[in-house]
Each structure stands twice: as structure tokens, then as C-alpha cells.
Amino acid sequence: MSIRKKQESIASMVYSDLKEKGLAREEDKEICMQDIRYHLQYLDEAVKNSSPALFNDYVLWADILLSNLGLPEECLKGSLQSIRNAILALDPESAEPASEYIEESLKILEMEHLSESCITEQPLKELAEKYLELVLSTEAGKARELILSSLDSGVKVHDIYRYVFEPVQHEIGRLWQINHISVAHEHYCTSVTQMIMSELYPYIYRASERKDLKLLATCVNNELHEIGIRMVSDFFEMNGWDSVYLGSNTPPNDITGMVSETEPEVLAISATMTFNIGHVKEIIDKVRELDPEPAVMVGGYPFNIDTSLWKKVGADMHAVNASGAVKVAEEFLEVG
């Protein structure tokens, strides 16, 4: 069953069912419908990739988000049950494994799942906590001075990325999820980090000897979360590679065009949102038609949830985070 193709029919059935049960109000119809569409998009991508882990993770994430917005637990459970019933009603012969995925996620919802800080014990924990405090207080100037003074005192630029920028960005996302900060705060904090990163290139270029290797780094089309792949690009630069960074929401044909133009050894593709996995596969399929074709590395949140997903989309390798991406690529290419 193609959930995407029947998305609106399913969403309408689900909304009507929730309204009848008192779990949805007419004045909240558009918000409710959008939530249902998100549930369906994540379910569809999980089914397409034979990955219940992707849907289970999303459901737990959504439960934390919705509960911190003050919605009762019955809303999410009711939505999932109604989605299962709607799918079975529309196409009973091909409703599996979607209904099985929903049943499993409902069981997992009964288990304890807490949201814990992403800034854990590590060499620069205090620096990361101070940086987070400053960006959340909209003190960009002080945040910038904190990072630059740390570098001047001997902290390595790659450690700033690994132990400050990476965990702080994850923590900012978590704070939004639990409704402690707004979307505006999240966007501001990210823009401050990107601004500071742009000032660190003198440190990045002097970090190591240059190598005759090139990386092309990009987000897929429809993907707006770009800071992770930018960090990947910078780590390659720190390790002597020449990196060509394309940024967010790059059209597939433009990516393949740049591959042909620049002939990189590695193409790094990032997707943070699970519903963009199909775009990753589309790009990789296009790249495989090129001659020469680069080795393809993928990364981003869904690939860390399902550790076999990179193989399913046809990539050559997967990096868990920006700091480990260079090692993965150089081991694959047998260089270093």
C-alpha cells in the first residue's frame, strides 16, 4: 500500500474518527491534520525501508514533544490507532506491515522514555554549557568571544566542533522538543553557531597538511537542516581535504552536475528528516550513472537510528557524526 498516495484520504478519515471520539476539535483541524500527515510520512518511509526502528523512534520523539505541549497521551495513541484502522479500511489486503509497525509503536509507548541532556561528561563539558547559556540568552558577542578565547588559549578547533558545537546543537533541538525554547530561539542559536564557524576558517586551514583529495558535501532537496553537513565539510578541511559545500535543499540534478564538474573522491549526503530518505536514494541512483562516480557517504539522524539504512539507500559508507566522517572516508579509500 502506498501511504503517501492515499495520505489525504487517510488523514481525513483519521481526523473524523478523532473528532468523533473527542480527541480533536474543529478549531484545531489544520494543526491536527498536519500532525496526522507527519505521522503518515514517517510511517510510509519506515515501511518503504523495512525499518520499524525509524517509526518507533519517531513515535517516542512525538510523544515527548506533544506531552510537553500539554496534550494528553491519548491524542497520539488515538491517532495511531485511527491510522491503523483507516489503512485497514482503505486497503485491507496490503495494509501490512504498516499496521504491524503501528502495533509495535503502541507497545513501545508504554515503556518509560525520558528526554536527557545531550551535553554529557566530556573534555569540554563546562565550555559547552557556558556556550549554550550564552546563545540561549541571545548574547552572540559573548558566545563568539568565548570560542575565540578558548582557541587562543590552546583548545583545538576540532575539539570545539566535537565537544561544543555538536552537543550544543543536539541540546538545542532537545530543548525545543520539550517546549523549553521556541522555534525562533532554535533558529537564532543555530545562526550564531554558523556565524562563529565562518570565522574559524583560519584555524581550520592551518590544522593540517593539505591532501590531494576532494569532498563534495550537500543536503538533499527538501532538507533544511544544514549545520551538520557543514561541520562534516569543515572536518574534512581540518584534515587536509578540499571541500565543496553546497548547503541545504540542493536539487538532485544540481548535485550530479557539481559531481561531474568537481570530480570529488567522496560525495557526502545529509538528511536529518526521515521523510527525506527517498531523496537520498534518488540522488545516489543518479550518481551511479556518472563516470567517474565518487564514493558516497551518507549521514544524519535516521541513519543513526537504523544502522543498516545506509546500505538500503545504496551508499558506500555511513558516518555517525561529523568528527568521525573523515576516518570513515579515508579507511574506505585506503588513504591517510
Residue 53 has pLDDT above 90, yes or no: yes
Q: Stretch 85-102: mean pLDDT, rounded?
A: 87
> Peptide bond before 292: cis, by omega within 30 degrees of 0?
yes
- The pLDDT, as a whole number, for residue 304 is 97
- The pLDDT, as a whole number, for residue 71 is 85
- The pLDDT, as a whole number, for residue 109 is 93
Residue 206 has pLDDT above 80, yes or no: no
pLDDT band at 336 (very low <50, low <70, confident <90, very high): low
Q: 97-124 pLDDT, tens per residue? A: 899 999 999 999 998 888 899 999 999 9
Q: 284-318 pLDDT, tens per residue? A: 999 999 999 999 999 999 999 999 999 999 999 99
pLDDT band at 240 (very low <50, low <70, confident <90, very high): very high
pTM of the model: 0.91
> Across all residues in the chain, what is the average pLDDT?
94
pLDDT band at 1 (very low <50, low <70, confident <90, very high): low
Domain architecture of the chain: domains with CATH:
7-109 (1.10.490.20), 125-202 (1.10.1240.10), 208-333 (3.40.50.280)
